[in-house]
Each structure stands twice: as C-alpha cells, then as structure tokens.
Amino acid sequence: MSRLPVMSSKRVLSTNSSANVQDFAPAQKRVRKDPETDRPQTAATVIGTKRPAAAVAAARPPLSRPVRGAGAATVAVGPSRGVVKPYVASTAARGGNMKPPAGSTAPKTAGSGAPRRHAWDLKGKVSDMEDKIRNYQTRVKSVNQENEVLKGSMAHNQTKVVELEEQLKKLEGQIIDYETEVKALSNVRSELDKVSNEKSCLEKELCSLESKYRVVETLRDSQETELQTLKMKLSVQESTLARLQATLRDTEEQVRSLTDTVAQQSEELHAGEMERRRLHNTIQELKGNIRVFCRVRPLQGGGLSKHIQLAASNNKMITLAKTEESHTGKTAETHKSYNFSFDRVFGPGASQQEVFDEISLLVQSALDGYNVCCFAYGQTGSGKTFTMEGGEFDDSRGCIPRAVQQVFRAAEKLGAQGWEFTFTASFVEIYNETLRDLLYTGKGSKRPEHEIRKSASNEVTITNLSYRKVSTEDEVLGLIALANHNRATAQTAQNDRSSRSHSVFQLDIEGVNAGREVKCKSTLCLVDLAGSERMVKSQSQGERFKEMTAINGSLSNLGIVISALANKESHIPYRNSKLTYLLQGCLGGNSKTLMFVNVAPEPDSFGETLNSLRFASKVNDCVIGTASVNRK
C-alpha cells in the first residue's frame, strides 16, 4: 500500500557502516578468513621467554588506535577459546580499516612487514601483550559503550517495534476496513455497472424520446399555427356570440311574454273546454238524455222492402204499412200503417260511419265525465251485432270499435291540456240471468261465479270479473276479440246462444287534470241485447222456454225501468233483472242513454218489427232527468 509508512529500520541500518557490521560479525567466521590463523602459534609456545624492552615497546600498538579497529580481535580472544591471537594477524587481515597512528615506531608484524621480536625478547612480548590487553580493554570498553548505545538503540527500536506493531495492527484493521470498503466498492461497482447499463438503455430511450420530441415539436408548431387560426376564428365567433346573446336576450324576453300569453291562453283554453263541455251537454240534454235511433237492415237479397217506408223529408219518421184481406170479406183488403217517430231513422243504405257520427257526441260526453249507455234492441237477425260491433274491415266497423278509437284519440288531445286518463275494460254476458266473464282466460272447469254488487258510493261492480287496465285502442280491440272467441266457444256448445244472451262491454274512464285539480269519472257502456222476438208459448219448451222467459223478463224490465225513470217514480226496479241491475249506473238521471232499435225488413218480420218499434217508441217518449257530470 502506498499509504503505508516507511519502515524506520532503514534509518537504523544506515547508521551502521558495512565495516561495523563486519566488525561485529561472529569471530569464528572472521577467523576462518584470516590467513594468519593457519600459521603455527609460535608465540604461545614462547610465553615466558625474555625479549628486549625496545622490541617490546616497538611491538606495542599505539594507544591512540581507534576503538573500532579492535572489534574483531575482541571476539577472537573470547574467553571461551583461551587462545590469544596476535594483534598483528588480526589487524593485518582488516586491510585499511585499522590504521596505525601516525609516527608509530612499533615493529611491524610478520604479515605487515613489522619487525618480529626475538624469541628471547620476552619483555617486549609481554609489553606487546600488555599493550594488546590494554588495547583490548579499551576496545572492550568502547564495545561496551557501543553495546550500551546499541542496547539503548535496541530499546528504542523495540519501542519502535511495539509502536510499529500497534501501527501494524491499526493498519491491519485499516486493511480489513479497506477490504470491507473494497467489497462494498465492488458491490458499488457492480451497481455502477448496472446503472451504467441502465444509463445506456436510458440514453437510447432518450435518443428515441428526443426524436419523438422533435416530431412532437413539429406537431406542436403546426398545432400552434392551427391554434392561431382557431383563435382568430374564436374571436370572430365571440363577436358573433355576443350578437347572438343580444338576440337571445331579446328572444328570451319574447319567450317570456309568449309564455305569459300561452299561460293566459291555456287558462282561456281550459275555460273554453269547460264551456264546450257545458254547451255540449246542454245540446245533448236538448236532444234528450235518452234517445232512440231506428236502423233498418237491408234486405238480404237486395232491393227495397215494401212495408217499410222512410220519410223523404226528414230522417226521423218510419212507417210500417200492411195490406190485409178483410175479415168480413166486404172489402177486398184493409190497408194498415203504423207511423213512428224517433230521434233519427237510418235506412238500409246508411253506412256505419253515418250511424257512429250520431253517437260520437255521446262518446265525447263520456270523456267529459258523463255515464253513457248505448244498447241495440231488436229481433234476432235485425242487425244489432252489426251495429254494435260490425265487421272486420274499417268501413264495416261498428259502434264499439269506433267509440274506443274516439275515446283514445280524444284522451290524447286532452293530454295537451293537462288531462291524464286511465281506462278499465270489462266484457260480460248475461244468459238466463247468469253472468259470464267474456274476458276470462282460465280453465273452463274453474270458471268463477259472479254477483252484482253495489258499493256505498253507488258504484256497480261484478265479483270475480276481469277488469283489465288498457291504455291503447289495440289493447281494447284485443279484448273484444277475446270476448268474441269466448262467445263463439259457448255458441258451439249451445246453438244460437249469442242471440239469446245480452253482452255488455264497459269502459270505465277516469280523468285527472293535476294542474287544475279537476277529476272526472264515467262509464261508457255498449250493450248488444238478446233477440227480442216473442215466441208462442206453446212452442217454447224446456231450456228454450226458460231462455225466453229470461230474455223477455229482462227486456220488459228494461222498458219498465226507463218508464219509471221517465215518470220519476220513487222506486226504480233495477234489481228485477240482471241487465237493469248491471246498467243501473248508466241509466237514469246521471247518464245519457241511446237506444238503437234494429229492424229486419223482411215481410215475415212485420210483427216483430211492429213490436220492436212500439217498445222503442215508448222509450223514446220518456224524458229522463238532467244528467249530472261526475266531476270533483
């Protein structure tokens, strides 16, 4: 690591010269290198012999020799060997390191050329030895000093070593830290790689985005241009709008005034509608609350009937004329004619529409809140069903479908004036004084029985009868078809039954004008009566006798009721027959009644026609009291 501190040992080593190292090297090694060591130790063998003093003095080394020059010799003369080496040999081996002091006169050793002491010069040798010893002592002292220095240095170095060890520990800790850091850094590096990958991806994306941006910029520029154009257009439009707003304000003002006018006119319209109803009713009352129309059926083979004459001057007279043979035989024949006057007489050529036009005013009265009852009276085959129901084609449709159509159309028109209507239809047959629901759709075996009930508010209802809510003309026509189907089923079981039963179609009408808090309620009742022909008692037997009794009873009671109403009798015998009981609400003071007397033009029906016209004439003479509207 470059951050590691430089070892101080280098400095320590630099203080010691290579010579010093050699000086303090082990003595053995240096001895081996010394050539003097191979030489025979003659000096040792001559210890104790005398030598001259001068020689000794000459052989003595100078005292001022450098301490370091004797280092190796000190080791060489270590006490472990017990051998004293000659100083000369050791110093000679050192070369230039041990320089003798200048001016020294000591005899040279054999190696260096110094004079050798003679064998006898023991003193000189001793002196040399003493010199050597002193020299060695000096050197030992200096070595000791050096040793002390070295010890101090060593202690210092040891301290340093401890310090360095501590530093080393620290550094090892640091290394661990650094290694951890390195690991972390390698993680960082991998992260960095990832990031750099991501970066390159992002750069690519950026490139594509930049190209897109350029496209968008182009687009923006074009849109800005467009925007400018639009702004210009907008300003034009704004000025137009301002003009239009001014116009709108004027128009709103006009609308307000028109709304006021409409409200005023609506008031007037309502008042007008009420006035129309009042006048309409007045007219109907002037015409009579019970009216009788006579209708002559065309001859089945075509042509004109001879015995029925209709007044050409008006359409209210009918004359029955018959020429009979004289019973006395005095005259060839007797001419008898019977004149009858009705509210209206329709000849064989009268269309269904012409007939309906006359009763449509009464249908309007039903919508205005008056009970209306319209029934057809006449012998079998005289045209009652044709008048009331008619045929399938539009032209031949009878009073019931036309009345239904008128009711729904008128209700729709009145809706614009705030009226809302609900309609309930029922269709019932009275046969042999028994009621039968013609709108029944269940199993024949489970047909319920019916009773006529009168509520506290004098409303007549039939128990278990189907009362169907209807809202369209088609729904009602569907119910009429269902009723005809039910009648036809009964007819096959019992021949010619329809001629011997009364069928009563009732449409209950309820109108509400919520805005004006006005309500009205009425019933439009359209009845196809059973054939009115009388049967000779002797010819009527069994069921037929029972039927005829029931029919005659109910028809004659109808006449009685109408007569009682006309005479304002205290008791009106409604309950004497199912027919009058059921029609109670539609007959009398609170209703408008229309009777069709249908006439068969055939000569053999003369008697029945006469009877029918007589009955109708009686009814026509009745003036039933003023009808009151069912309005709240």
Ligand X SMILES: Nc1ncnc2c1ncn2[C@@H]1O[C@H](COP(=O)(O)OP(=O)(O)OP(=O)(O)O)[C@@H](O)[C@H]1O
Q: Minimum CB separation from ligand X for residue 400, in Å?
A: 12
Output 124 or 381, the one with its CB closest to ligand X. Answer: 381
Tokens of 323: 């020429």
Of 583-622, which residues contact ligand X (CB under 6 A)?
598
Is the CA virtual torsion 356, 360, 362, 366 positive or negative?
A: positive
Distance of closest approach, residue 341 Cβ to ligand X, in angstroms: 21
Q: Which is nearer to ligand X, 146 or 358 (CB)?
A: 358
Chain residues 247-286 in contact with ligand X, contact rule CB under 6 A? none
Closer to ligand X by Cβ: residue 495 or 541: 495
How is the chain split among helix, strand and coil, in percent rounded to 5?
A: 55, 15, 30
Residue 272, C-beta contacts closer than 8 angstroms, at least 6 positions apart: none
Of 486 and 584, CB closest to ligand X: 486
CA gap 236, 359 in Å, rounded: 65
User: Which residue shows structure tokens 């010579």?
Assistant: 19
Total of residues contacting ligand X (CB under 6 A) = 14
Residue number, 383 or 588, with CB nearest to ligand X: 383
Q: If you count them, how many residues does the chain have?
A: 632
**Does 498 help bind ligand X (rule: CB under 6 A)?**
yes
Q: Comparing C-alpha atoms, which of 424, 446, 425, 450 is closest to residue 437?
A: 450
Q: Can you tell me the distance from the alpha carbon of 300 to that of 137, in angstroms, rounded to the nearest whole number?
A: 187
- We find the least distance from the C-beta atom of residue 570 to ligand X, in angstroms, to be 35
What are the structure tokens assigned to 65, written together? 């020799």
Distance of alpha carbon 234 from alpha carbon 227, whole angstroms: 10
Query: Whose Cβ is closer to ligand X: residue 51's or residue 384's?
Result: 384
| Minimum distance of ligand X from residue 485's CB (angstroms) | 16
Binding-site residues for ATP sit at: 378-385
Of residues 381-410, those binding ligand X (CB under 6 A): 381-386
In sequence order, the β-bridge partners of residue 504 are 428, 527
Smallest separation (angstroms) from ligand X to the CB of 536: 19
* Listed residue (492, 493, 524) closest to 506, CA to CA: 524
> Hey, what are 218's tokens?
């182009």
Distance CA 481, CA 491 (A): 15
Q: Which residue has the tokens 């991806």?
A: 201
What are the CA-CA distances from residue 451 to residues 434, 464, 509, 552 (Å)?
Answer: 9, 8, 22, 21
Q: How far is the CB of 319 from ligand X (least distance, A)?
A: 19
What is the pattern of x (binds ligand X, CB under 6 A) and - over residues 357-386?
A: ---------------------x-xxxxxxx
Least separation in angstroms between CB 344 and ligand X: 14
Report angle CA 313, 319, 322 to the nearest 5 degrees.
140
Q: Are the C-beta atoms of 62 and 101 separated by less than 8 Å?
A: yes
Residue at 455: amino acid letter: S
Residue 397 DSSP symbol = B
Closer to ligand X by CB, 333 or 543: give it. 543
Distance CA 21, CA 401 (A): 150
The annotated binding site is made up of 378-385
Task: List binders of ligand X among 520-579 (CB under 6 A).
Answer: 531
CB-neighbour burial class of residue 549 (10 A; exposed 0-12, middle 13-18, buried 19+): middle
R_g (Cα) of the chain, nearest Å:
78
Minimum distance from CB of 298 to ligand X (Å)?
5
**d(C-alpha 5, C-alpha 595), whole Å:** 140
**In terms of CB distance, is 139 or 384 closer to ligand X?**
384
Based on CB atoms, which residue is closest to ligand X, 420 or 496? 496
Instruction: Name the β-bridge partners of 131.
Output: none
Q: What's the min distance (Å) between Cβ of 581 and ligand X? A: 22
How would you class 243 by CB atoms within 10 Å of its CB: exposed for 0-12, middle for 13-18, buried for 19 or more? Answer: exposed
Choose between 598 and 620: whose C-beta lies nearer to ligand X.
Answer: 598
- In the three-class reduction of DSSP (H, G, I as helix; E, B as strand; rest coil), residue 454 is classed as strand
Q: Which residue is nearest to ligand X (CB)?
A: 383
Q: How far is the CB of 340 from ligand X (least distance, A)?
A: 18
| Residue ranges binding ligand X (CB under 6 A) | 297-298, 378, 380-386, 498-499, 531, 598
